[in-house]
Amino acid sequence: MFSRVLVANRGEIAVRIIRALHELGVEAVAVYSTADRDALHVRLADQAICIGPPSATESYLRIPNVIAAAETTGCEAVHPGYGFLSENPAFVRACVESGLIFVGPPAEVIEKTGDKARAKAEMRAAGVPLVPGTEGVATLAEVRVAAVELGFPVLLKATAGGGGKGMRVVDRPEDLESAYGAASAEAEAAFGDGSMYLEKALVPARHVEIQVLCDGHGGVLTLGERECSIQRRHQKLIEESPSAALTSEARETMEASVERACRQLGYLNAGTFEFLLGPDGSPSFIEVNCRLQVEHPVTEMVTGIDIVREQLRIAAGERLSVTGRAPRAGHAIEIRINAEDPRRDFAPAPGLVSRFRPPLGPGVRVDTAVFEGASIPPFYDSMIAKVIVRDDTRDAAIARAIRSLEEFEIEGIPTTRDLAIDILRSREFRGGAYSTSYLAEMEGRLPSMVPA
Ligand code: ADP
Protein backbone atom coordinates (compact mmCIF):
# COMPACT_ATOMS: atom_id res chain seq x y z
CA MET A 1 0.00 0.00 0.00
CA PHE A 2 1.05 3.62 -0.54
CA SER A 3 2.31 5.75 2.30
CA ARG A 4 1.06 9.15 0.99
CA VAL A 5 -1.66 9.99 -1.53
CA LEU A 6 -2.85 13.30 -3.00
CA VAL A 7 -6.61 13.88 -3.03
CA ALA A 8 -7.27 16.01 -6.12
CA ASN A 9 -10.76 17.15 -5.17
CA ARG A 10 -12.85 19.08 -2.65
CA GLY A 11 -16.11 18.77 -0.74
CA GLU A 12 -17.70 15.57 0.50
CA ILE A 13 -15.79 13.31 -1.89
CA ALA A 14 -12.40 14.62 -0.75
CA VAL A 15 -13.47 13.96 2.83
CA ARG A 16 -14.69 10.47 1.88
CA ILE A 17 -11.33 9.62 0.27
CA ILE A 18 -9.28 11.05 3.15
CA ARG A 19 -11.25 8.81 5.53
CA ALA A 20 -10.46 5.73 3.43
CA LEU A 21 -6.77 6.69 3.33
CA HIS A 22 -6.57 7.14 7.08
CA GLU A 23 -8.27 3.80 7.68
CA LEU A 24 -5.58 2.21 5.52
CA GLY A 25 -2.84 3.97 7.47
CA VAL A 26 -2.00 6.21 4.49
CA GLU A 27 -1.25 9.93 4.79
CA ALA A 28 -3.59 12.23 2.87
CA VAL A 29 -2.51 15.43 1.13
CA ALA A 30 -5.33 17.82 0.24
CA VAL A 31 -5.40 20.56 -2.39
CA TYR A 32 -7.61 23.62 -2.10
CA SER A 33 -8.54 26.88 -3.75
CA THR A 34 -8.54 30.10 -1.76
CA ALA A 35 -12.36 29.78 -1.49
CA ASP A 36 -11.86 26.49 0.39
CA ARG A 37 -9.26 27.66 2.89
CA ASP A 38 -11.50 26.70 5.84
CA ALA A 39 -12.98 23.58 4.24
CA LEU A 40 -13.30 20.29 6.10
CA HIS A 41 -11.12 18.35 3.66
CA VAL A 42 -8.27 20.77 4.37
CA ARG A 43 -8.66 20.25 8.11
CA LEU A 44 -8.85 16.46 7.93
CA ALA A 45 -5.84 15.99 5.64
CA ASP A 46 -2.33 15.56 7.01
CA GLN A 47 -1.11 18.36 4.75
CA ALA A 48 -2.85 20.79 2.42
CA ILE A 49 -1.56 22.76 -0.54
CA CYS A 50 -3.25 25.84 -1.97
CA ILE A 51 -3.45 25.46 -5.76
CA GLY A 52 -5.07 28.70 -6.86
CA PRO A 53 -7.98 31.13 -6.77
CA PRO A 54 -11.67 30.13 -6.44
CA SER A 55 -12.41 29.51 -10.12
CA ALA A 56 -12.03 25.76 -10.77
CA THR A 57 -10.29 26.38 -14.09
CA GLU A 58 -7.55 28.17 -12.17
CA SER A 59 -7.31 25.67 -9.31
CA TYR A 60 -8.90 22.18 -9.20
CA LEU A 61 -8.76 21.86 -12.99
CA ARG A 62 -5.23 23.20 -13.43
CA ILE A 63 -3.12 20.11 -14.11
CA PRO A 64 0.38 21.56 -13.47
CA ASN A 65 -0.70 22.91 -10.06
CA VAL A 66 -2.16 19.59 -8.95
CA ILE A 67 0.87 17.63 -10.17
CA ALA A 68 3.23 20.09 -8.45
CA ALA A 69 1.30 19.66 -5.18
CA ALA A 70 1.74 15.88 -5.39
CA GLU A 71 5.42 16.10 -6.30
CA THR A 72 6.46 18.61 -3.69
CA THR A 73 4.78 16.64 -0.90
CA GLY A 74 6.24 13.29 -1.97
CA CYS A 75 2.96 11.57 -2.86
CA GLU A 76 3.05 8.23 -4.66
CA ALA A 77 -0.49 8.31 -6.04
CA VAL A 78 -3.37 10.66 -6.85
CA HIS A 79 -7.06 9.97 -6.22
CA PRO A 80 -9.15 12.27 -8.45
CA GLY A 81 -12.60 11.69 -6.88
CA TYR A 82 -15.40 12.56 -9.34
CA GLY A 83 -15.77 15.59 -11.61
CA PHE A 84 -12.81 17.96 -12.09
CA LEU A 85 -9.86 15.97 -13.55
CA SER A 86 -11.23 12.50 -12.83
CA GLU A 87 -11.91 11.58 -16.47
CA ASN A 88 -9.25 13.71 -18.13
CA PRO A 89 -6.74 11.58 -20.09
CA ALA A 90 -4.23 14.47 -20.21
CA PHE A 91 -4.22 14.51 -16.42
CA VAL A 92 -3.70 10.75 -16.24
CA ARG A 93 -0.74 11.07 -18.62
CA ALA A 94 0.70 13.97 -16.61
CA CYS A 95 0.51 11.77 -13.48
CA VAL A 96 2.25 8.89 -15.21
CA GLU A 97 4.96 11.16 -16.61
CA SER A 98 5.65 12.44 -13.10
CA GLY A 99 5.89 8.92 -11.72
CA LEU A 100 2.54 9.18 -9.90
CA ILE A 101 -0.01 6.38 -9.88
CA PHE A 102 -3.45 7.56 -10.98
CA VAL A 103 -6.22 5.87 -8.99
CA GLY A 104 -8.45 5.00 -11.93
CA PRO A 105 -8.31 3.49 -15.42
CA PRO A 106 -5.43 4.12 -17.86
CA ALA A 107 -5.63 7.16 -20.17
CA GLU A 108 -6.40 4.98 -23.23
CA VAL A 109 -9.46 3.47 -21.54
CA ILE A 110 -10.73 6.91 -20.54
CA GLU A 111 -10.25 8.08 -24.13
CA LYS A 112 -12.16 5.12 -25.53
CA THR A 113 -15.09 5.65 -23.20
CA GLY A 114 -15.03 9.42 -22.61
CA ASP A 115 -16.16 10.04 -26.17
CA LYS A 116 -19.70 8.75 -25.79
CA ALA A 117 -20.10 7.91 -29.47
CA ARG A 118 -16.86 5.91 -29.42
CA ALA A 119 -17.89 4.17 -26.19
CA LYS A 120 -21.03 2.94 -27.93
CA ALA A 121 -18.92 1.43 -30.72
CA GLU A 122 -16.81 -0.40 -28.13
CA MET A 123 -19.93 -1.70 -26.41
CA ARG A 124 -21.38 -2.89 -29.69
CA ALA A 125 -18.21 -4.93 -30.22
CA ALA A 126 -18.65 -6.47 -26.75
CA GLY A 127 -22.22 -7.47 -27.60
CA VAL A 128 -23.81 -4.99 -25.17
CA PRO A 129 -27.28 -3.76 -26.25
CA LEU A 130 -27.34 -0.05 -27.21
CA VAL A 131 -29.94 2.71 -27.44
CA PRO A 132 -30.68 2.95 -31.20
CA GLY A 133 -29.05 6.00 -32.79
CA THR A 134 -26.39 7.31 -35.14
CA GLU A 135 -23.12 5.43 -35.34
CA GLY A 136 -20.72 8.02 -34.06
CA VAL A 137 -20.68 11.78 -34.59
CA ALA A 138 -23.43 13.15 -36.83
CA THR A 139 -23.82 16.41 -38.77
CA LEU A 140 -27.15 18.23 -38.80
CA ALA A 141 -27.91 16.68 -42.21
CA GLU A 142 -27.18 13.18 -40.89
CA VAL A 143 -29.23 13.86 -37.78
CA ARG A 144 -32.23 14.86 -39.93
CA VAL A 145 -32.11 11.55 -41.81
CA ALA A 146 -31.51 9.48 -38.68
CA ALA A 147 -34.32 11.19 -36.76
CA VAL A 148 -36.85 10.16 -39.38
CA GLU A 149 -35.59 6.58 -39.30
CA LEU A 150 -35.61 6.41 -35.49
CA GLY A 151 -38.93 8.22 -35.10
CA PHE A 152 -39.56 11.18 -32.79
CA PRO A 153 -38.93 11.97 -29.96
CA VAL A 154 -35.16 11.85 -30.38
CA LEU A 155 -32.36 13.01 -28.11
CA LEU A 156 -29.41 15.09 -29.31
CA LYS A 157 -26.32 14.40 -27.22
CA ALA A 158 -22.81 15.83 -27.08
CA THR A 159 -20.08 13.22 -27.55
CA ALA A 160 -18.07 14.97 -24.83
CA GLY A 161 -21.20 15.44 -22.70
CA GLY A 162 -21.61 15.11 -18.96
CA GLY A 163 -23.77 16.56 -16.21
CA GLY A 164 -26.73 16.74 -18.58
CA LYS A 165 -25.02 19.46 -20.67
CA GLY A 166 -25.30 19.47 -24.46
CA MET A 167 -28.46 17.37 -24.43
CA ARG A 168 -31.83 18.23 -26.05
CA VAL A 169 -34.99 16.20 -26.50
CA VAL A 170 -36.58 16.99 -29.86
CA ASP A 171 -40.23 16.15 -30.49
CA ARG A 172 -40.73 17.54 -34.01
CA PRO A 173 -38.62 17.67 -37.20
CA GLU A 174 -38.93 21.47 -37.41
CA ASP A 175 -37.19 21.86 -34.03
CA LEU A 176 -34.10 19.83 -34.99
CA GLU A 177 -32.02 22.65 -36.42
CA SER A 178 -32.36 25.08 -33.50
CA ALA A 179 -31.91 22.30 -30.92
CA TYR A 180 -28.79 21.07 -32.72
CA GLY A 181 -27.31 24.58 -32.72
CA ALA A 182 -28.13 25.23 -29.07
CA ALA A 183 -26.91 21.85 -27.77
CA SER A 184 -23.73 21.99 -29.82
CA ALA A 185 -22.95 25.54 -28.64
CA GLU A 186 -23.57 24.49 -25.03
CA ALA A 187 -21.19 21.53 -25.41
CA GLU A 188 -18.58 23.70 -27.11
CA ALA A 189 -18.73 26.14 -24.18
CA ALA A 190 -18.65 23.43 -21.50
CA PHE A 191 -16.24 20.90 -22.99
CA GLY A 192 -14.51 22.68 -25.86
CA ASP A 193 -16.06 20.15 -28.23
CA GLY A 194 -19.40 20.71 -29.92
CA SER A 195 -19.69 17.39 -31.76
CA MET A 196 -23.08 15.74 -31.50
CA TYR A 197 -24.75 12.37 -31.98
CA LEU A 198 -28.36 11.30 -31.97
CA GLU A 199 -30.30 8.69 -30.00
CA LYS A 200 -33.87 7.54 -29.92
CA ALA A 201 -35.40 9.13 -26.80
CA LEU A 202 -36.66 6.26 -24.67
CA VAL A 203 -39.81 7.40 -22.92
CA PRO A 204 -40.64 6.31 -20.31
CA ALA A 205 -37.24 5.03 -19.27
CA ARG A 206 -35.53 3.99 -16.09
CA HIS A 207 -31.87 4.76 -15.44
CA VAL A 208 -30.18 1.65 -14.04
CA GLU A 209 -26.39 1.42 -13.73
CA ILE A 210 -23.97 -1.36 -12.85
CA GLN A 211 -20.97 -0.79 -10.56
CA VAL A 212 -17.79 -2.67 -11.33
CA LEU A 213 -14.28 -3.08 -9.91
CA CYS A 214 -11.43 -4.55 -12.01
CA ASP A 215 -7.95 -5.34 -10.74
CA GLY A 216 -4.72 -5.53 -12.73
CA HIS A 217 -4.68 -9.34 -12.58
CA GLY A 218 -7.77 -10.08 -14.66
CA GLY A 219 -10.17 -10.02 -11.70
CA VAL A 220 -13.60 -8.47 -12.38
CA LEU A 221 -16.21 -7.91 -9.68
CA THR A 222 -19.68 -6.61 -10.50
CA LEU A 223 -21.49 -5.08 -7.52
CA GLY A 224 -25.07 -5.02 -8.74
CA GLU A 225 -27.14 -2.06 -9.84
CA ARG A 226 -28.25 1.36 -8.72
CA GLU A 227 -31.61 2.72 -9.80
CA CYS A 228 -31.18 6.44 -10.52
CA SER A 229 -34.40 7.45 -12.26
CA ILE A 230 -35.37 10.20 -9.84
CA GLN A 231 -33.74 13.12 -11.64
CA ARG A 232 -34.03 16.84 -12.18
CA ARG A 233 -32.70 18.16 -15.52
CA HIS A 234 -31.19 14.75 -16.34
CA GLN A 235 -29.31 14.83 -13.03
CA LYS A 236 -29.82 12.32 -10.23
CA LEU A 237 -31.54 13.26 -6.96
CA ILE A 238 -32.32 9.92 -5.29
CA GLU A 239 -30.68 6.54 -5.94
CA GLU A 240 -31.47 3.09 -4.61
CA SER A 241 -30.30 -0.49 -4.79
CA PRO A 242 -31.64 -2.97 -5.70
CA SER A 243 -33.87 -1.62 -8.50
CA ALA A 244 -37.52 -2.63 -8.37
CA ALA A 245 -37.35 -2.87 -12.18
CA LEU A 246 -35.01 -5.86 -12.43
CA THR A 247 -35.71 -9.55 -12.09
CA SER A 248 -32.73 -11.65 -10.98
CA GLU A 249 -32.33 -12.95 -14.56
CA ALA A 250 -32.32 -9.42 -16.02
CA ARG A 251 -29.80 -8.33 -13.39
CA GLU A 252 -27.49 -11.25 -14.18
CA THR A 253 -27.74 -10.53 -17.93
CA MET A 254 -26.69 -6.92 -17.32
CA GLU A 255 -23.86 -7.83 -14.95
CA ALA A 256 -22.54 -10.46 -17.36
CA SER A 257 -22.60 -7.97 -20.25
CA VAL A 258 -20.69 -5.44 -18.15
CA GLU A 259 -18.11 -8.06 -17.24
CA ARG A 260 -17.64 -8.80 -20.97
CA ALA A 261 -17.35 -5.08 -21.74
CA CYS A 262 -14.69 -4.62 -19.04
CA ARG A 263 -12.60 -7.40 -20.53
CA GLN A 264 -13.06 -5.95 -24.02
CA LEU A 265 -11.96 -2.48 -22.86
CA GLY A 266 -9.08 -3.66 -20.66
CA TYR A 267 -10.84 -1.84 -17.84
CA LEU A 268 -9.02 -1.12 -14.57
CA ASN A 269 -10.25 0.13 -11.18
CA ALA A 270 -13.81 1.34 -10.42
CA GLY A 271 -16.32 2.14 -13.12
CA THR A 272 -20.02 2.43 -13.79
CA PHE A 273 -21.90 1.29 -16.87
CA GLU A 274 -25.11 3.26 -17.32
CA PHE A 275 -28.19 1.79 -19.02
CA LEU A 276 -31.70 2.89 -19.74
CA LEU A 277 -34.51 0.38 -19.39
CA GLY A 278 -36.98 1.14 -22.15
CA PRO A 279 -40.78 0.87 -21.95
CA ASP A 280 -40.49 -2.91 -22.49
CA GLY A 281 -37.97 -3.22 -19.62
CA SER A 282 -35.02 -4.20 -21.80
CA PRO A 283 -31.66 -2.52 -21.03
CA SER A 284 -29.74 -0.34 -23.50
CA PHE A 285 -26.28 1.02 -22.75
CA ILE A 286 -25.84 4.84 -22.64
CA GLU A 287 -22.40 5.57 -21.20
CA VAL A 288 -19.46 4.51 -19.03
CA ASN A 289 -18.31 6.62 -16.11
CA CYS A 290 -14.59 5.91 -15.63
CA ARG A 291 -14.45 6.97 -12.00
CA LEU A 292 -15.99 6.80 -8.58
CA GLN A 293 -19.61 8.05 -8.66
CA VAL A 294 -21.48 10.32 -6.30
CA GLU A 295 -23.92 7.52 -5.54
CA HIS A 296 -21.30 4.81 -4.77
CA PRO A 297 -22.34 4.58 -1.06
CA VAL A 298 -25.63 2.93 -2.07
CA THR A 299 -23.61 -0.02 -3.36
CA GLU A 300 -21.31 0.03 -0.34
CA MET A 301 -24.31 -0.23 1.98
CA VAL A 302 -25.78 -3.32 0.27
CA THR A 303 -22.51 -5.14 -0.51
CA GLY A 304 -20.47 -4.18 2.55
CA ILE A 305 -17.56 -3.47 0.17
CA ASP A 306 -15.68 -0.20 0.64
CA ILE A 307 -15.29 0.91 -2.98
CA VAL A 308 -12.74 3.65 -2.26
CA ARG A 309 -10.57 1.27 -0.26
CA GLU A 310 -10.75 -1.25 -3.11
CA GLN A 311 -9.79 1.48 -5.60
CA LEU A 312 -6.67 2.23 -3.57
CA ARG A 313 -5.82 -1.46 -3.16
CA ILE A 314 -6.19 -2.03 -6.92
CA ALA A 315 -4.03 1.02 -7.72
CA ALA A 316 -1.38 -0.36 -5.37
CA GLY A 317 -1.32 -3.54 -7.46
CA GLU A 318 -3.30 -5.79 -5.11
CA ARG A 319 -5.84 -8.38 -6.21
CA LEU A 320 -9.57 -8.16 -5.57
CA SER A 321 -10.38 -10.52 -2.71
CA VAL A 322 -13.71 -11.50 -4.34
CA THR A 323 -14.46 -11.67 -8.08
CA GLY A 324 -17.58 -12.51 -10.08
CA ARG A 325 -20.73 -11.11 -8.45
CA ALA A 326 -20.50 -9.29 -5.12
CA PRO A 327 -22.76 -10.65 -2.36
CA ARG A 328 -25.48 -8.20 -1.35
CA ALA A 329 -28.16 -7.89 1.29
CA GLY A 330 -30.94 -5.47 2.14
CA HIS A 331 -31.96 -2.23 0.50
CA ALA A 332 -30.16 1.12 0.41
CA ILE A 333 -31.33 4.59 -0.62
CA GLU A 334 -29.27 7.75 -1.14
CA ILE A 335 -30.75 11.23 -1.04
CA ARG A 336 -28.68 14.09 -2.42
CA ILE A 337 -29.16 17.32 -0.52
CA ASN A 338 -28.43 20.22 -2.86
CA ALA A 339 -28.17 23.91 -2.03
CA GLU A 340 -30.87 24.64 -4.61
CA ASP A 341 -34.35 26.08 -4.55
CA PRO A 342 -36.89 23.55 -5.92
CA ARG A 343 -39.50 26.35 -5.96
CA ARG A 344 -37.33 28.34 -8.38
CA ASP A 345 -36.52 25.61 -10.87
CA PHE A 346 -33.61 24.33 -8.79
CA ALA A 347 -31.69 27.59 -8.92
CA PRO A 348 -28.39 27.17 -7.02
CA ALA A 349 -28.55 28.87 -3.62
CA PRO A 350 -25.07 29.22 -2.10
CA GLY A 351 -24.67 31.02 1.22
CA LEU A 352 -24.07 30.62 4.93
CA VAL A 353 -25.32 27.46 6.64
CA SER A 354 -26.50 28.83 9.98
CA ARG A 355 -27.67 25.50 11.37
CA PHE A 356 -26.54 22.00 10.34
CA ARG A 357 -27.53 18.93 12.38
CA PRO A 358 -27.34 15.76 10.29
CA PRO A 359 -29.39 12.71 11.29
CA LEU A 360 -28.00 9.88 13.42
CA GLY A 361 -29.21 6.46 14.47
CA PRO A 362 -29.27 2.91 13.08
CA GLY A 363 -28.57 2.33 9.40
CA VAL A 364 -27.82 5.98 8.56
CA ARG A 365 -24.70 7.37 6.89
CA VAL A 366 -24.15 11.02 6.02
CA ASP A 367 -21.36 12.01 3.62
CA THR A 368 -20.77 15.76 3.74
CA ALA A 369 -18.11 18.41 4.10
CA VAL A 370 -20.55 20.98 5.48
CA PHE A 371 -20.69 22.05 9.13
CA GLU A 372 -22.60 24.64 11.10
CA GLY A 373 -21.30 28.08 10.17
CA ALA A 374 -19.82 26.88 6.87
CA SER A 375 -20.22 28.98 3.75
CA ILE A 376 -21.26 27.23 0.54
CA PRO A 377 -19.13 28.90 -2.14
CA PRO A 378 -20.89 29.74 -5.43
CA PHE A 379 -18.05 28.39 -7.59
CA TYR A 380 -18.66 24.65 -7.43
CA ASP A 381 -21.29 21.93 -7.38
CA SER A 382 -24.45 22.62 -5.38
CA MET A 383 -24.56 19.23 -3.64
CA ILE A 384 -23.86 19.73 0.08
CA ALA A 385 -24.65 16.35 1.64
CA LYS A 386 -25.70 12.80 0.91
CA VAL A 387 -27.92 10.87 3.31
CA ILE A 388 -27.64 7.15 2.76
CA VAL A 389 -29.77 4.63 4.63
CA ARG A 390 -29.96 0.85 4.64
CA ASP A 391 -32.52 -1.59 5.99
CA ASP A 392 -33.68 -5.11 5.24
CA THR A 393 -36.53 -4.26 2.86
CA ARG A 394 -37.38 -1.40 0.51
CA ASP A 395 -40.34 -0.27 2.65
CA ALA A 396 -38.20 -0.22 5.79
CA ALA A 397 -35.45 1.70 3.96
CA ILE A 398 -37.99 4.31 2.76
CA ALA A 399 -39.29 4.74 6.31
CA ARG A 400 -35.73 5.11 7.57
CA ALA A 401 -34.92 7.65 4.85
CA ILE A 402 -37.97 9.78 5.75
CA ARG A 403 -37.13 9.56 9.46
CA SER A 404 -33.54 10.63 8.75
CA LEU A 405 -34.50 13.56 6.56
CA GLU A 406 -37.02 14.77 9.11
CA GLU A 407 -34.23 14.76 11.72
CA PHE A 408 -31.87 16.67 9.42
CA GLU A 409 -31.80 20.34 10.44
CA ILE A 410 -30.40 22.72 7.81
CA GLU A 411 -31.01 26.44 8.01
CA GLY A 412 -29.71 29.49 6.18
CA ILE A 413 -30.04 28.25 2.60
CA PRO A 414 -32.85 26.60 0.61
CA THR A 415 -32.22 22.88 -0.03
CA THR A 416 -33.82 19.88 -1.70
CA ARG A 417 -34.46 18.19 1.69
CA ASP A 418 -38.22 18.77 1.81
CA LEU A 419 -38.63 17.80 -1.82
CA ALA A 420 -36.91 14.49 -1.09
CA ILE A 421 -39.38 13.85 1.75
CA ASP A 422 -42.30 14.60 -0.61
CA ILE A 423 -40.87 12.19 -3.17
CA LEU A 424 -40.26 9.37 -0.66
CA ARG A 425 -43.83 9.76 0.64
CA SER A 426 -45.45 9.76 -2.80
CA ARG A 427 -47.48 6.74 -3.86
CA GLU A 428 -45.61 6.67 -7.19
CA PHE A 429 -42.19 6.36 -5.55
CA ARG A 430 -43.36 3.85 -2.96
CA GLY A 431 -44.92 1.72 -5.68
CA GLY A 432 -41.47 1.43 -7.27
CA ALA A 433 -42.73 1.81 -10.87
CA TYR A 434 -41.34 5.30 -11.48
CA SER A 435 -39.32 6.51 -14.50
CA THR A 436 -36.97 9.40 -15.34
CA SER A 437 -40.13 11.42 -16.12
CA TYR A 438 -41.17 11.22 -12.45
CA LEU A 439 -40.53 14.86 -11.48
CA ALA A 440 -42.11 16.24 -14.67
CA GLU A 441 -45.18 14.03 -14.15
CA MET A 442 -45.49 15.04 -10.49
CA GLU A 443 -45.42 18.75 -11.26
CA GLY A 444 -47.83 20.56 -8.99
CA ARG A 445 -48.30 17.53 -6.75
CA LEU A 446 -45.13 17.83 -4.67
CA PRO A 447 -45.79 20.69 -2.19
CA SER A 448 -42.12 21.67 -1.86
CA MET A 449 -41.78 22.21 -5.62
CA VAL A 450 -44.75 24.52 -6.01
CA PRO A 451 -43.46 28.07 -6.77
CA ALA A 452 -43.85 30.32 -3.73
P1 ADP B 1 -24.71 12.90 -18.67
O2 ADP B 1 -23.38 12.21 -18.81
O3 ADP B 1 -24.74 14.29 -19.25
O4 ADP B 1 -25.26 12.84 -17.28
P5 ADP B 1 -26.19 10.56 -19.67
O6 ADP B 1 -25.91 9.99 -21.00
O7 ADP B 1 -25.64 9.84 -18.47
O8 ADP B 1 -25.70 12.10 -19.64
O9 ADP B 1 -27.73 10.72 -19.47
C10 ADP B 1 -28.29 11.38 -18.34
C11 ADP B 1 -29.78 11.18 -18.29
O12 ADP B 1 -30.40 11.66 -19.47
C13 ADP B 1 -30.22 9.72 -18.18
O14 ADP B 1 -30.19 9.22 -16.88
C15 ADP B 1 -31.65 9.83 -18.72
O16 ADP B 1 -32.51 10.38 -17.76
C17 ADP B 1 -31.49 10.82 -19.84
N18 ADP B 1 -31.23 10.13 -21.12
C19 ADP B 1 -30.01 9.84 -21.67
N20 ADP B 1 -30.14 9.19 -22.85
C21 ADP B 1 -31.47 9.04 -23.07
C22 ADP B 1 -32.28 8.46 -24.12
N23 ADP B 1 -31.73 7.92 -25.19
N24 ADP B 1 -33.63 8.50 -23.98
C25 ADP B 1 -34.21 9.08 -22.90
N26 ADP B 1 -33.52 9.64 -21.89
C27 ADP B 1 -32.16 9.63 -21.96
Reply yes or no: is the peptide bond before residue 54 cis, omega within 30 of 0: no
List the one residue out of 310, 89, 106 whose CA is nearest residue 212: 310
Say how far apart CA 153 and CA 205 lie, in whole Å.
Answer: 13
Evaluate if residue 160 carries a pLDDT over 90.
no
Task: Indicate which residue's Cα is closest to atom 24 of ligand 1.
Answer: 201
Q: Is the CB of 92 under 6 A from ligand 1?
A: no
Active site residue 291: yes
List the one residue out of 183, 246, 234, 181 whose CA is nearest residue 209: 246
Q: Residue 117: what pLDDT?
A: 86
What fold does the segment set 132-200 form as a domain?
A: Dna Ligase; domain 1 (3.30.1490)
Phi and psi angles of residue 75, each rounded to the nearest 5 degrees, phi first? -75, 150
Give me the residues paired with residue 181 across strands: none
User: Averaged over 217-238, what is the pLDDT?
Assistant: 96
Q: Distance, CA 408 to ligand 1 centroid (Å)?
A: 30
Q: Do domains 4-103 and 206-449 have the same CATH topology?
A: no
Per-residue pLDDT tens digits for 313-330: 999 999 999 999 999 999
Atom of ligand 1 minimally distant from the CA of 231: 16
User: Averaged over 347-352, what is the pLDDT?
Assistant: 95
Q: Is the CB of 286 under 6 A from ligand 1?
A: yes
Domain ranges for the chain, please list them: 4-103, 132-200, 206-449
Say how far apart CA 23 and CA 326 lie, in whole Å.
Answer: 22
Task: Indicate which residue's Cα is closest to atom 14 of ligand 1.
Answer: 207
Evaluate if residue 441 carries a pLDDT over 80.
yes
Say how far apart CA 358 and CA 25 lie, in whole Å.
Answer: 27
Considering only the top CATH level, what class is 4-103? alpha beta
Q: Is the CB of 436 under 6 A from ligand 1?
A: yes
Confidence of residue 238 (pLDDT cuts 50, 70, 90): very high
Q: Residue 437: what pLDDT?
A: 95
Atom of ligand 1 minimally distant from the CA of 203: 25
Evaluate if residue 435 carries a pLDDT over 80.
yes
Evaluate if residue 413 carries a pLDDT over 90.
yes
User: Averaged over 131-137, what is the pLDDT?
Assistant: 91
Q: Distance, CA 36 to ligand 1 centroid (Å)?
A: 32
What fold does the segment set 206-449 form as a domain?
A: D-amino Acid Aminotransferase; Chain A, domain 1 (3.30.470)
Q: Residue 163: what pLDDT?
A: 81
Q: Residue 191: what pLDDT?
A: 86
State the average pLDDT for the chain: 96
Q: Residue 250: what pLDDT?
A: 96
Q: Residue 357: what pLDDT?
A: 98
Evaluate if residue 452 carries a pLDDT over 80.
no
Per-residue pLDDT tens digits for 13-35: 999 999 999 999 999 999 999 99
Name the catalytic one among 168, 251, 291, 417: 291
- HSE of 382 in the Cβ direction (CA atoms, 13 Å)? 20
Say how far apart CA 187 and CA 264 lie, in whole Å.
Answer: 29
Cβ–Cβ under 8 Å, residues 2 and 77: yes
Q: Distance, CA 168 to ligand 1 centroid (Å)?
A: 10
